[in-house]
Each structure stands twice: as structure tokens, then as C-alpha cells.
Structure 1
């Protein structure tokens, strides 16, 4: 049920328009699916989905958001209204704990029964599902994308989701009996930690799990989540002071610093790995993007120091962070998402999300000029974009959701190996299996003589994997994590873990997932398999009943709309949550203005996309962008490959 505390009241006319839009497209979709509709009809159909999803698929899971969380106190500084706080507090000043660290993840769906959640973790055995339905048999490339697209989504997910896990030895681990090609007697997995502030591990309606990250789009994966982490990333070891003008520390060779052990102490598990805000599951792709956007932050700082001389050192840092965050949000909205969902209606709809239809057709400048003449609501959102509208939570306090986390399980994007080539002539410099460029070995190509430009070029001209059944990378199905503080090495089949996490956290299985999105459930194994008899037979043998098919498996099997890189089922969650990440955040709505960002900052955002970020720091890569419309599409190869 919608809570009036978290929504702006709609006028009578807007309610009539919303109701009519939903009713009309419900009828149309009985005969024609939305992605088969022409032009603006398809865009209008997406708007109708979003109206309906906002009404039915936002559920409040948290408690009193006016009081601080024990582990995440409110920021005391006088400048709080003009900055993103380290823990994510005080974004909404009426509910200052909303979206902060250790707040609960929300829900787009209701579990069928709280007592059933987690009771069927091993049915069917996730290791069997991994071997038979997920394991990559032969690499299937996504030929419309480049490998930066795969690195990018992991880079962003690390900003959004990080469930709290039980500490080693804490709680009862999940024991998965050996099955398929798993060699050990069991696979042991630490459980997701239930919200310890709740007296019952499952609250009355929802499994209660907390996000260890701030839930806002705040680039915490770069900046960290505490004042101490931010200070460490801004500290210059050469001067013994914070870097000037609010900059992050980049060494003379152009790299982020590395973790070092204390003098005289034995090496820590993370010694030698890159320092940044969040570095779990580190590999070369993350090394590239964390370094690139740390440099972008520094470039913004230098410009603000010159163009906005009234700002102090700390204010420069805070404004640069806001600007850098907005650049990333814009790139994700108008470049990455249309890149992986290459459908004409998607490009128009997402441009409209950021700059409105006016901005899509005539440029952001005109959209900003006319925004003040439009009433707030869906009309303003559509015509001039979310950043020029007012904040609205649409009836439930803002939180990222378990289902949103679920549909971002996109590990098939990761290839088995990466070929590094010279950006000038295309000559192969090295071919690396993924384990050779992961964790502490992420910089190995640079030690072997490659430059950062070579690495970026190689990602831009290589393909990720397609998000489909039987395309999950093999090395992730036998992943050995770096040793923990006690020296213990954890080995996991990550495909099986993905299945287990959805079951453990109460994400409905595939058919129920579709029902709660008001989509037609799958009625036969042939329909689920897309007419592939061998796959249909295997699915039936493993699951027995259609309603037992795991959501991730169903989405990977699902036939895709033309131009789509992932399923229409997953896309319904994106329709709702992608705009919500913007619409609920005052720094992307009410406070997306000159007084907060500075005029210099707003102009920087307007002129910047992924191509501009890359070429600002690596101008020698300009030839690779010739004829490339989207920076996440394959780039032009050079030299001997031409």
C-alpha cells in the first residue's frame, strides 16, 4: 500500500492520465507485445509499465528512518545539505536514515510465505543446475557490445549492492552436497546475515537483509564509505598530507596506490592489491575503470579550483564527487543501458529519463529552459527529464531491492580470457586467462609492458559473453578467493552461489516472479526453452515442475526481444528501479542545480559521456572511436587488424 509520507500527491488530471494510459496498453498488449510497437507508442507503453510497477511493486521493508542506524550515525557537518555523506545519510532530510549503510534492501515482490523462504535451498541441487544449465560449453559472444560493458556493470554494482554476510564461523553455513562436476564432498557457503536489529530473522512480510553499502548512486566504490577510507584515498605519502584541491591520490606512474602491510608485520591478505573504495572480486576491468574515474575526479577538482575560487579544499572534493557521480549516472542511463538493450524505444525512453524528450530531440539546454514552465509529475519527467524534476519516492521509502540485485546477476558477460593488444598497431602483447588478471594479479599486463591505453583499447575491441543459458564462465565455477585473515581459502561455484542467494533471500522463482510483474507465466517446457527440444528435456528432468525453475535460469533461457542483451522479465525490474535511483535522489532531482553543483559542474556533466572521459585521459585512443555511435559498442580496430 502506498504511504503518503513517501509520495507527492498527484493532481486529478494526472491520475486520470495515468489510469487511462495503463488501461489502454493493457488491452493493446493482449495482441501486441510492447517491443513490437512502432516509435513513440513503444515509449508510451514503457511509461504505462512504470506507472503500474510503481503502484504495485514497491514495498517498505525498513523501520523508523528518522533516527540514525547504530552503525551509521548522521553526519554532523554544517555542509551536509550540499554533499553526499560518507554513509549515505541525510539524502532525504525528512527521513535522514533512508538509503544509508546498514539499511534494509527493499522488495519489489512479496515472498509467497515468509516461513517457506530458505526451506528449499537445495531443491534441485544448485551444483547440478550449474553444471547442466549454466556451465559454458562454448563461448557465445555478445557481438554488439565491447568488454568495457561487462566491466562497467560490475563497477556500478559494487556501488549499489553488498549484502552483509556472516563472519567466518558465524551462523550455520549452507552445506551443498557434491553434485555434477564439483570435486569436494561439499561446497560450504556463508549465509547472508539477517538484520541483527530485528528480533526475528524474518520480519512479518519480508526476509530482512541489510545492505553494507549506501544505497544511493554515490560512487562509494571509488570514494569509500567512511571518513577514514576517504582520507586514506586522498592521502599523499610523498608529502604526508591530503592531496591538494580535493584530489584523490594517483602515483607518478598513473596508478592508484596499493595496500601495504604495516612495517614489521606479516603481509596482510590484501597486501599488494589496489586501494579504492570497494575492491572485492578485483580484476583488470575494475582496475581500468577505478583508475579512469579517479583521474576524472582529479580533473574536475583542478577545473573547480580555477573556475570556482570561492570553494575551499573540502568543498572542491565534495563538488567534484557530486559531478563525477552524475557523469557515471548519465553514462549508465543514456549509453550503457541502450548499448545492452539496443531497441529504438529504449534509447528514446532513457534519453527522456535523463534529459526528457525535449533534450533528446533538441538538447539539454532547451530542456532546462522550459522545465520551469511545466508542472511537476510524469509530464515534466517525460518532457524535460528526471534531473529537472522534484524528488518523489512513489509511496515507499527509497531502497535498492533484492529483486534488482537478482536481475543484475550477469556473470555470463565475463569471457574466459582477455587478449591485450597494442593500441597503435593491433599487435598482440599477451593473452591472459581470467585468473591471471584477477585479484592481486590485475596489473600483470602492465608489468609485462602494456600501457593503460593498450588495456582500454583491448577492452573496447573485444566482446563480452552473451547473457544466455550455458554461457557461465568456467573459472567462476571453481573460484578460489584470496585467503582471509586466518589464511583460509574459500572455493566456490559462483553459478551455484547465484542460485542459492536468490533462494536464500526469498526472491520468487521464475513463474511467480513473472506473475508478480503481471506477466504471463510460462506454460510449457517448450515455451521456456524457446523451441529447443534438448534444452526443454533437460529443464524438465532437473526441475520436474515449471514453477520450480529458478529465476536466473528462466531469464537466461527466455527468448529475447529484438536487440535485447537480457530478458524482458529482467527489464521490467529495470523499468521501475532505474528511474527510481534517479527520482528518489535529491542530488539528481531537486538539488540538481547550480547552487549545489556549480555552473561549471553542470556544464561538465552536460558535455561528458564515456567517450569524453576516456579521451580526456587517453587522447591517443581517438582513432578507435571513428564511426562508433555508442562507446560500449565494438570500437574500430587499428593497424594490422584493419
Structure 2
């Protein structure tokens, strides 16, 4: 009896299994396809072939290789970024950070709405000019380019469309109470290109060289550099008269509102695909481009027997030396402050060589710098662009920035003086204050596309930044407080480097202090004394710029192979950003320090900030390097 019952039960189970199988076969297979995510295999970067280096080479390689002779791949382009702290991927291997202390992390757009919304008017910096923001963006493009995953055939993934099942899409969800975008609407987000390290953990790639070497102007490898060169007299290609950036024959992002008609109107090209992200950025590219050609022409005048290659590399070397000096002598003091620079040993000396090179220092950009810390400048982006003539008179009504992302029209205005008027406008305008607030130009209307009606037509920059940090598995803000020698905050009231009202907003957005995204924690800090930014931001910036200085065998203050002579270095150290601006434009006057606001002619200097303002100087009195210190006595 027991045996017979067992067989009956067994038969019933079989019948149930068969019925279940029939049911599953009868379901719509398309539903299963929709639920299934399409995984994309990652390349692996671990053991690689050795590079052959020339220890006596006088010039940098274009891709940054062989800068460090013991570790030739340190700092070169197309390499994995470093990390200061271990990743916090959800699976420890590559899944984006999503889990918080109690539940899922808050939606990044929700965080943006709570914390980063700006008011009707901007809070302004009493000390710094708007130029500091553009310069910082230009510098960021020199040290980092983190590519996003694209289609196999090229082009952006359509993460809210046909590629939505691709695991490399990690779209931003719009919250129910959003007032700019439709609740539930999809804001596309493609993950950063990843490769597996030797432990099979996903790491992000830096396509740029890490070094401060103007790779955003000269290109990040030999092929890109060759395409930018004129192959004669050491010059870069240019549109003349006027030495403007060359024509991009096949622009991927740049757009024009009228048909291209070179040399009158066209999409300009430089060594970085982001050169036309804003017309002001393209204008700064042009200044550095012109300076190279000005130097090459001067060198050819005193060294008539030099080849195109020698003229090009020497002009590039001088240009990079000047660029590095401006970064460490003007930009960083105005950003992280002279005190912090001295603490980290990254202050440069008024004269003479100063060799701090450390062969064991890896200059490779670290992830927390490129993905969070050096994005602090996003809070400085203005709502509109001003154009000011050489007499500091407005040329036109301020242009809404949202209408000029990857648009080249302003670059060509006023008989090609548009680039100079744009930069004059930045130098003449006060910088938005470094704080939690982001202008609508980037929080509500980033990359605004007027052609898209009834669909997602813009992005949110702080939301993108936070999603990118989670994509990269960056630990939260609290972990970096500890890294920088500051106590972790165990409650929101212990966020002592944040104003109380800001700490309250953070508590409204996050369940606990450990959940605070790194980028959010950084841009909500109170600025430290003598600094534009807060203490953890200072720490991360200072550490990276120390690595970039002490880990660069060709840093401009070094003596010896590849270095400048004492006389040449003295010439380099007299150069300021204002020098390059005056030498390469028709400007009459500019403040001596373009990163600071102009001292008013009526004597009102801004109360307690009066010592920080910069006097206007005559461009006629500014001179470049004395090129005679580069005469080759060996030439026939």
C-alpha cells in the first residue's frame, strides 16, 4: 500500500512538471528577452610586453611612455587609472555601487534635486575670475579622458532605446516628484570603458596621458599628433590668416547652425575630442595652439638649419614648460592655496632649478581625482557666457550656455575676434562661488538639444557625476575623510566641514553618512582658509598634483637630460597666463593674474579681499621667452 502511494505521488509530480514545461513553452519568448540583460565581455590588462626606452632622449614621447624608465607604462595614454582606496563595487568585481547602509542608495537625480538646485541668482566669488573655471576644464582634459562604452559599430549606445538590454547601460531614473523631466523618463547613461586588472576586477581606462604635457593640444599618440602637424617649420596646422584651429573635416559632436564654409565658419579641431564642448574652451585651445606656432617660427629664425622635427619638439617643450609653470605658479595657488602647496611640497620656486623627481612615484591619474575631486569645477560653471571687447565693454547680451554646448558659432563671430572676446569676458566676470549649487545650464540643461521635442533633451551634470562615481565603484566621502587624516563622521551633525544647513540637506538625501557619494561630499564642503575648495578636495587635488610633479622625469624645474638650462628656465618662469593671452591676441590690457578679479579703477577693491585683486597691465609691456637662449651653437 505504501509503495503504491509512493508511485502515485511520483506520477503526480511528473504530471505537474510536464504541465509547467508546457506552460513555459507557451509563454511569449519576447518577454524573457526583455528581462535578460546582454552582457559584454571585458578586455584584460595585466601582463604586457616590455617597452624599449631611450634614456638620453631629450623630448617626451607623445603617448607618455618611457617617462619613468623603470616603469615605462606609468602615466602613458590608454592605461588603467590608479586607485587610492579599494573599490566598493556591489560584487567586489565590477557591479556599480548601489547598496547603502539600510537600503539602496538614493536616486542620483533625487540627490541632485535636494542638494544641487541653484537659486534665481548666483552666489559669486569675491576673489576669482570666471577664467579659473575654463582653465581648470582645459587642465582636466590634459590629464584625463575616460571613454564611455560605445556600440560595436561605433557611436553612442542608445541606452534608452535599442541598447537598453546592454549591461553596459546604467540609466538614471527620474524620480516621481521631478519638475524638469517626466517622472519615470529615462536619462541614458553608458558605463565607462572597463578592463580587468590582474585580479579580474573592473578598472577604468584613461585615454589621455596623465602628465601635464598639453596632450589635449598635441594629441595623445603619434598618429593624432601627426594629423595635427603641418610637417613644415615645426608648425601645427592652422587656418590663416589669424592662426585659428584647423578644420575638423568629420566632426563627431560639434555642430553649426549654418552650413560650414571654411575658413569663415567651421568646426575647429585640436588634440582632444572635447575641444568644442564650449566655445570658450575652443578659444583657450586656440591660444595654446598659436603659442606653439609663434615659438616654432621664432626658433626657426635663430636656428635656420633645424629640421621640422627639431623645431616642433623644441617649441612643444617650451610650450609645455610654460604651461606647467602657469599651473603650479598661478592656478593651483588660487585653487588649493599656497599653504597646502607648501605642505605637500608642490610649490615652485621663483627662480632656479628645483628637482623633486622620485622614480618610485607613479604619476598615473587616480580614479577619485578624475571622477570626483577634479570635477569640483563643475560647480563654477556659469549660467551664461559674456563677450567683452578690448576696452572691457560688453559686445552683446550674455549668451545662455545651454545653447552653446558643442556649438562653434560664437568662435567665429566679430570677424574672428569672438575667441578673444569670449576669453576677455571670462577674465572680466566674477566666478560663481564654489558650493553645492549648480546652475540650470548644467543641472537642468546640460547638452540641451532643441531638436528633441517630447523626449529627454538634456542631462543633469551632478547626477551624471554621482552615477559615474557609482559606476566606478568609488567609496563614499567618509572613506576619503579618513584617507586624508580627518575623522569619519558617524552622524550628520559630525560633518564639521559642512555648514549646518548643508548637513541637514545631506541627511534629507541619504540614510547615513557612509552613503554620501564622494562627489557630493566634496562639493558641499566649506572652503578652507586661503583655498577655493574644502579640506578633502584640497587633499585629493594636492596628492594628485604632487604625483604629477614628482613623478614626471621631464618636469620643467628639473635639470639634466631633457631639462632647461638655467637661462632658459629663468625665461620660462617669467611667463604668466596673461603673457600668453597678450602675445596671441590683439588685446590691449588684461589683469596680470587672469585667475583673479580685476582691481577696480575707482579704488574700491572689495573690503577685506582687496589684496587679492589683480591690476590691469598693458599688453605691450609683456614679452615672451627670449628665444636667443635657444640658439644652437652647434649648427653650421
Q: Is the shorter-chain TM-score for this pair beyond 0.5, marking a shared fold?
A: yes
Q: Whose helix proportion is higher, 1 or 2?
A: 1
Residue 163 of structure 1 contacts residue 210 of structure 1 at CA under 8 Å; is this kept in 2?
Answer: yes
* Structure 1 residue corresponding to 2:238, chosen from 235, 249, 258: 249
1:308 is displaced (CA, Å) by 4.1
Distance 1:174 1:268, change over 3 A: closer
- Name 1:153's counterpart in structure 2: 136
Query: Are 1:455 and 2:422 matched, yes or no?
Result: yes
Query: Are 1:508 and 2:475 matched, yes or no?
Result: yes
Q: Distance in 2 between matches of 1:468 and 1:191?
A: 27
Residue 340 of structure 2 contacts residue 538 of structure 2 at CA under 8 Å; is this kept in 1?
Answer: no
1:154 is displaced (CA, Å) by 0.5
* Structure 1 residue corresponding to 2:363, chosen from 395, 398, 404: 398
RMSD value over aligned CA atoms?
3.4
Q: Distance in 2 between matches of 1:149 and 1:478?
A: 22
SS at match of 2:465: helix
- Name 1:276's counterpart in structure 2: 270
Distance 1:119 1:469, change over 3 A: closer
Query: Are 1:290 and 2:290 matched, yes or no?
Result: no
Query: Are 1:323 and 2:323 matched, yes or no?
Result: no
SS at match of 1:257: coil
Residue 407 of structure 1 contacts residue 552 of structure 1 at CA under 8 Å; is this kept in 2?
Answer: yes
TM-score (norm 2): 0.74
1:454 is displaced (CA, Å) by 2.6
Q: Distance in 1 between matches of 2:105 and 2:325?
A: 41
Residue 245 of structure 1 contacts residue 301 of structure 1 at CA under 8 Å; is this kept in 2?
Answer: yes
How many residue pairs get matched? 521
- Name 2:147's counterpart in structure 1: 164
Mapping of residues 401-420 of structure 1, within 5 Å: 401-405=366-370, 406-409=372-375, 410-420=377-387
- Name 1:131's counterpart in structure 2: 113
1:538 is displaced (CA, Å) by 3.1
**Higher Cα Rg: structure 1 or 2?**
2
1:346 is displaced (CA, Å) by 4.2
SS at match of 1:97: coil
Residue 160 of structure 1 contacts residue 400 of structure 1 at CA under 8 Å; is this kept in 2?
Answer: yes
Query: Are 1:345 and 2:330 matched, yes or no?
Result: no
Residue 248 of structure 1 contacts residue 297 of structure 1 at CA under 8 Å; is this kept in 2?
Answer: no
Question: Over residues 486-519 of structure 1, what are the superposed CA-to-partner deviations in whole Å (9 max), with x where a residue is unaligned?
Answer: xx99742221110011112122111122122221
Distance 1:347 1:402, change over 3 A: closer
Question: Over residues 433-454 of structure 1, what are the superposed CA-to-partner deviations in whole Å (9 max), with x where a residue is unaligned?
Answer: 1133331235257258854443
Query: Are 1:176 and 2:165 matched, yes or no?
Result: no
Residue 217 of structure 2 contacts residue 270 of structure 2 at CA under 8 Å; is this kept in 1?
Answer: yes
**Greater Cα offset, 432-441 or 613-622:** 613-622
- Name 2:98's counterpart in structure 1: 120
Q: Distance in 2 between matches of 1:577 and 1:115?
A: 28
* Structure 2 residue corresponding to 1:91, chosen from 57, 67, 92: 67
* Structure 1 residue corresponding to 2:487, chosen from 520, 523, 538: 520
- Name 1:439's counterpart in structure 2: 406
- Name 2:206's counterpart in structure 1: 211
1:347 is displaced (CA, Å) by 6.5
Distance 1:534 1:325, change over 3 A: same
SS at match of 2:208: coil
- Name 2:597's counterpart in structure 1: 634
Distance 1:511 1:619, change over 3 A: same
Q: Distance in 2 between matches of 1:160 and 1:316?
A: 25
Structure 1: stretches of 5+ with no match in the other structure: 1-60, 69-73, 236-241, 262-266, 369-384
Q: Distance in 1 between matches of 2:347 and 2:112?
A: 38
1:80 is displaced (CA, Å) by 8.2
Residue 155 of structure 1 contacts residue 286 of structure 1 at CA under 8 Å; is this kept in 2?
Answer: yes
1:529 is displaced (CA, Å) by 7.6
